[in-house]
Amino acid sequence: MGKVPFGFFQRIQNAPDYLPSWLMSVVLVSLCGGISWLDHQLGSEWSAFLLYCMPITLAVWWGGRRLGLILAMICAVLSWMTNLEGHIFPGMAAYTLAMFNRLLVFIIAALAASAIKARHEADRARIAALEEMRQLEKEIISISEYEQQRIGQDLHDGLCQQLAAIGCAARALAEDLEVRGVPEVRDAESIEHSIQASVIEARSLARGIFPVHVDRTGLSTALSELAETTGRMTGIPIEVAEWSEVHVDDPDVAMHLYRIAQEAVNNAVKHSGASEISITLRAMGDLLELRIEDNGKGLAPRKSDRSEGLGLRTMRYRAQALGTVIEFEPRPEGGTSVSCVMKVRTRHEDDN
């Protein structure tokens, strides 16, 4: 005998969403009438009074506790009338007491169904809130990513180009002053060199905000550029260790991993007082591990999730978007290890 599909019960529970109220009333009345007929047919030796709990439960689920209590009283009256002639009790008082006991059972069934319904609705509301929060987190990350890309693109196409133009003008001025033999030519050359250095820093900053090469073949390159740029700007040596060249097929996955590494490196630079930082990217079968380690003072113990900074929460959200978790662990020799292991489709250098 086949199993009743779970969706069948869901359709019964959600009947008010697609059935008119008069049809549900007909269903409840028909169930009560059918159970009353069955109870009469069974006679005094057998009782079907527990079957009345089914329409009572449906009444509570479809119309609320008040409708369930009303139907409980109706079922008690039907049970009274059905068994009035053939009951086996010694007298009317005993029969009446038995009917009151049945009424109590029906009322308890209605109250129990109401409590279960309230719990079910609370659980459904909690699940909906969690799903909405997860969707909101995803949208926040998406908006943040878009804004970072927009700012990086504006830096690259706007400020960098303007600085380059100013550098060309400074170079032309220096050449003109050199032709004239004016001693201020050294100042013009110094201005040109400063502008060129500013262009390099602005382009590095733009690449950090908007790494255009973070795609299926460029995650390793982007991490190397991140290490080089951050090391040059902070003076902290950052090593990138890759056991084999890894190509992540999904560019969104690659971008999330890059942002996690970027935030972990920034935290190590700003808060840990580290003098060495390492970034490790390695594939282990169908698993990909990203690990960032430093030799700083480590993370301060947190009292609750709300005590975390925005950067740590963002890394956790990105890890959730990847379907995994991010681990923050102290290193035995001092410092912090940030790791993220996920199942991802990758392609290695030695793959055909």
How do the domains of the chain map onto residue ranges? 6-136, 213-352
Please report where in the chains the tokens 């905000």 appear, as a residue: 209
What's the alpha-carbon Rg for the chain, to the nearest Å? 36
Task: Give CA–CA dist 40/47, Å, rounded.
Answer: 9
The DSSP bridge pattern shows strands 246-248 and 277-284 to be unpaired
**Which secondary-structure segment (H or E) carries 322?**
none
The CATH architecture of the domain made up of 213-352 is 2-Layer Sandwich (3.30)
Beta-bridge mates of residue 291: 280, 339
Indicate yes or no: pTM above 0.85: no
Q: Which of 8, 108, 91, 120 is nearest to 50 (CA)?
A: 108
In whole angstroms, give the CA distance from residue 307 to residue 64: 42
Provide the 3-class DSSP secondary structure of residue 331: coil
Residuewise pLDDT in 10s, the chain (352 residues): 444 454 656 676 667 767 777 788 888 888 888 888 887 777 666 777 788 888 888 888 888 888 888 888 888 888 878 777 766 677 778 777 878 888 898 899 899 989 988 898 888 889 888 888 777 777 777 777 677 777 776 676 677 777 778 878 888 888 888 787 777 777 887 887 888 777 777 776 666 666 655 554 578 888 888 888 888 888 888 888 866 667 777 777 888 888 899 889 888 888 888 889 999 988 877 888 899 999 888 766 554 455 466 778 888 888 888 888 899 988 888 889 999 988 866 554 445 4
**Are the beta carbons of 203 and 243 closer than 8 angstroms?**
no
Residue type, 336: T
